[in-house]
């Protein structure tokens, strides 16, 4: 019998709703998402780690993840850049999720561009599906992927949250550029 994965779960109130933060004991972020989608997150965890393969234990600020995300929402967009993440998923999904972390804050890319970046230009739909299965919202910034025509396409947390996140990042990035220009 394999060992049960013990996961730590915390909750963070953000400007766009309460967020769930799930970490393992080794210091890796395993999942992050919105409480109104908690059922879906738990289903995803069961799919990745099996029905009885994990337990969720309440924790406060596991490995500093809650504090880092709070800093991000308060305007320090770099606070989440170096957070360690570990996901299950297929090798292709993990490849897409790694590529998502390479999208610069304050910018967006299309699904086609993301497919090209991972060397699979014909895999646009598969990239979209992998993007939609991302278990670590915000830190693995699937919200930075938009439609080829510039439209805001689906986001697991809802389009309004996606819009807010993009505006938050664009505004903070713009303010940082202006501040650097003053010095």
Give the Å distances, CA to CA, from 159 to 124, 146, 163, 165, 181: 20, 11, 6, 10, 33
The pLDDT assigned to 181 comes to 47
pLDDT tens-digit series, residues 62-97 = 999 999 999 999 999 999 999 999 999 999 999 999
Mean pLDDT of the chain: 91
Measured between alpha carbons, how far is 91 from 80 in angstroms, rounded to an integer? 23
Tell me if residue 142 is catalytic.
Answer: yes
Mean pLDDT of the region 5-21: 97
Write out the two tokens for 53.
Answer: 């393969």
HSE-CB of 69 using CA atoms within 13 angstroms: 32
List 142, 145, 146, 166, catalytic entry? 142
| CATH architecture assigned to 91-182 | Orthogonal Bundle (1.10)
Predicted model pTM: 0.89
pLDDT band of 38, cuts 50, 70, 90: confident
Q: How far apart are the first and last CA of the chain?
A: 60
Q: Mean pLDDT across the stretch 28-38?
A: 93
CATH class given for the domain over 5-80 = alpha beta
Domains 5-80 and 91-182 share a fold: no
Gyration radius from the chain CA atoms:
16
The structural domains of the chain, with segments of one domain joined by +, span 5-80, 91-182
């Amino acid at each position: 019998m394999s060992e049960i994965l013990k996961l730590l779960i915390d909750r963070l109130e953000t400007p766009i709703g309460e967020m769930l933060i799930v970490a393992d004991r080794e210091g890796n972020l395993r999942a992050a998402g919105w409480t109104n989608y908690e059922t879906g997150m738990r289903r995803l965890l069961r799919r990745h780690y099996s029905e009885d393969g994990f337990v969720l234990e309440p924790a406060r600020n596991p490995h500093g993840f809650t504090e880092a995300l709070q800093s991000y929402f308060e305007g320090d967009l770099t606070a989440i850049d170096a957070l360690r993440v570990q996901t299950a998923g297929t090798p292709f999904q993990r490849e897409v999720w790694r590529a998502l972390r390479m999208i610069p804050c304050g910018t967006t890319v299309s699904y086609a561009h993301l497919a090209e970046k991972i060397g699979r230009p014909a895999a646009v739909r598969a990239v979209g599906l992998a993007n939609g299965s991302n278990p670590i919202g915000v830190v693995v910034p699937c919200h930075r992927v938009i439609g080829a025509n510039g439209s805001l396409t689906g986001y697991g947390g809802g389009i309004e949250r996606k819009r807010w996140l993009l505006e938050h990042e664009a505004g903070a990035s713009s303010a940082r550029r202006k501040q650097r220009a003053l010095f």
